Structure 1
């Protein structure tokens, strides 16, 4: 006989079957799940929500992932690459506004010019902020040597989404070639951890062919890999991608949204002290999407501080919010959102993963 949701939530550990049951919950069962994850967040993380000023500085990418709007094969994208001084100006804005941290994100490249440029930018950001700004980077798969150089230059957190821990599913959403290998992704995550980064990963929720078992395995993968931070959002299809032809297999946007919230809640129960980001994609479906995630388990939010004129060209998916707001608008909006979610902004703090501190003490 299967257990009730309440019985499962009272257990000290969760089996894969328990996780699947929680991910499929609705109504009062879903409310009970959210109440539990919210309670755990308050106990282990507190009310603080940390800002990461997001700079999406280039949409030039060598990869051809089948779900992504800025994939190399999409010829309808206006490609851009923001000048270094604009990136540094955005970082200075984050510093002056007491954000605590920035995130540098772009399409994937690994040529020498790009690697050297990032190293230089990291050093300059450290310099302009008197070493006070925390830096997260999300720049895809690189060699261990490159990761080390960037770490030495000042980056200390790295986000590399696994997209799916199921190899077969991963291969369905990526081209079949050595440039898109599941083993490479896993090896990169291991390299990041070995070097000493706070290591982050994540998945898309509701992609074609994905099952509840896949998602449960994704959460167990994160726990087993001992990950420090996670960013995961609902899959939103883009009509200029190969995966768009499978849109009739997708659950509704609202169902993907609710399922993402349940993923965040279960992850908070499984990994009590990690950092969990409230993804922008949640807001693309529900105007209060990010607040809802903060209430039930997330504790990181990423105001977009990319110069406004380029935001509309960094479209990984459609209906992306905040593409016409300036950085100031975004900050004011985030403050209001966090207050609505009963959170407190950890101004001027790096907001490092408590899990990382506990993991590296061992």
Structure 2
């Protein structure tokens, strides 16, 4: 396994067969060696810095019925909300005053948020804070829509491919188009966004072969950002009785992805921290270099439940940010409040 890890470190890729071999047969000692190599690459490009993004969960309405998601259209027990444009902008203003220079607008595919509404929000934030970055995580739209949002000033777009296995994708996403999801990623890259993709680890039906294909797809796409985290079931979804994904496998995949794409921006996700709070900081030690505290007003964020057990705290405060900084320092890392763009990215 060490030979495969060294090959991955040197060549930044492995064959599918070798990825499967590594994932199936790596032992604890070899896994620690993988983590050491991933950390060395992380340190080479980013030292011990951690970029911070301010998350704004603007709406928990969604037109889709993804089988794992707590804000699915079929969850009738959820209290739904839309933030007003004024509330979104005010939340960004509060975040800016705390030092945030990247804002991530995340929500379900809410049809009430038109291109014009998004463009107005983006334009307002960028006009007030031209040095700040705006990231969108709003699902599938047309290429024309994406272009309009880019022209309004959006810098980044997150849309996980979820799985490169078409059959599994269609089971997890009824009535959605696998082909359109993949097309969306390439459309976003073509327009000029910093693009993020990723997948859940341990979602029911996923095999190691699928994960190897996911890794190779990500290598081919060459995204700027990669978000992976363990599957966590939600009580009001068809997958409610399934087991959560493995944190250890998630760490292994973060490390592999750091070696495959050395300069990528990889968050240590909330889902990792939900399984165990210290997981976030181990994520940094195996290659992750981004964290996304939640700026959403408390009364809204408690209703944005993608999975059970999500941490809900008043992170839109100075005290919470200072606590995050302290915890990072205690783990050997420091918070970098800059925009944190992908290296050498420039707007078209």
2:232 aligns to what?
A: 236
Q: Which residue of 2 aligns with 1:127?
A: 127
Unaligned segments of structure 1, at least 5 residues: none
1:161–1:203 contact (8 Å) kept in structure 2:
yes
Cα distance in structure 2, aligned partners of 1:140 and 1:72: 14
1:164 to partner: Cα distance: 0.5
Please, which of 330, 338, 342 is the counterpart of residue 353 of structure 1?
342
Give 1:67 shift: 0.6
Is the partner of 2:32 in helix, strand or coil? helix
2:221 aligned residue (225, 233, 238): 225
**Displacement of 1:83:** 2.0
1:264 aligned onto 2:254: yes
Aligned to 1:65: 66
* Secondary structure of residue in 1 paired with 2:246: helix
Q: CA deviation at 1:110?
A: 4.3
Q: Report SS of the residue matched to 1:303.
A: coil
Give the corresponding residue for 1:136.
Answer: 135
Encode CA deviations 1:285-308: one digit per residue, 9 max, x unaligned: 011111111111011110100001
| Residues 334/17 of structure 1: CA separation in 2 closer, same or farther (3 Å cut) | farther
Unaligned 5+ residue runs, structure 2? none
Match of 1:22 in 2: 22
Distance 1:341 1:356, change over 3 A: farther
SS for the counterpart of 2:266 is: strand
Contact 1:273 1:355 in 2 (8 A): no
Q: What is the CA–CA distance in structure 2 between the aligned matches of 1:356 and 1:88, rounded to whole Å?
A: 26
CA contact (8 A) 2:293 2:315 kept: no
Q: What is residue 314 of structure 2 aligned with on the other side?
A: 325
Work out the CA distance in 2 between the residues paired with 1:21 and 1:81: 46
Question: Hey, what's the Cα distance between the residues in 2 that align with 1:78 and 1:340?
Answer: 37
Alignment of 1:162-241 (within 5 A): 162-175=161-174, 177=175, 180-241=176-237
1:162–1:201 CA contact under 8 A, matched in 2: yes
Q: Describe the shift of the 1:315–1:222 C-alpha distance in structure 2 as closer, same or farther (beyond 3 A).
A: same
Deviations 1:98-152 (A, max 9, x none): 22211000111345x52211110001111221x0111111000001111111101
2: distance between equivalents of 1:18 and 1:337? 37
Task: Tell me the secondary structure at the aligned position of residue 19 of structure 1.
Answer: helix
How far apart are 1:350 and its partner, in Å?
1.2
Alpha-carbon distance in 2 for matches of 1:183, 1:57: 27
1:44 Cα deviation after fit: 2.4
Distance in 2 (alpha carbons) for counterparts of 1:182 and 1:96: 40
Report the TM-score when normalising by structure 2: 0.94
CA-based RMSD of the aligned residues comes to: 1.7
- Residues 242-280 of structure 1 deviation map (CA, whole Å, 9 limit, x = unaligned): 1225x1xx4xx4x61111111100000111111111110
Task: Tell me the number of residue pairs that the alignment of Structure 1 and Structure 2 aligns.
Answer: 342
Shift of 1:356: 4.5
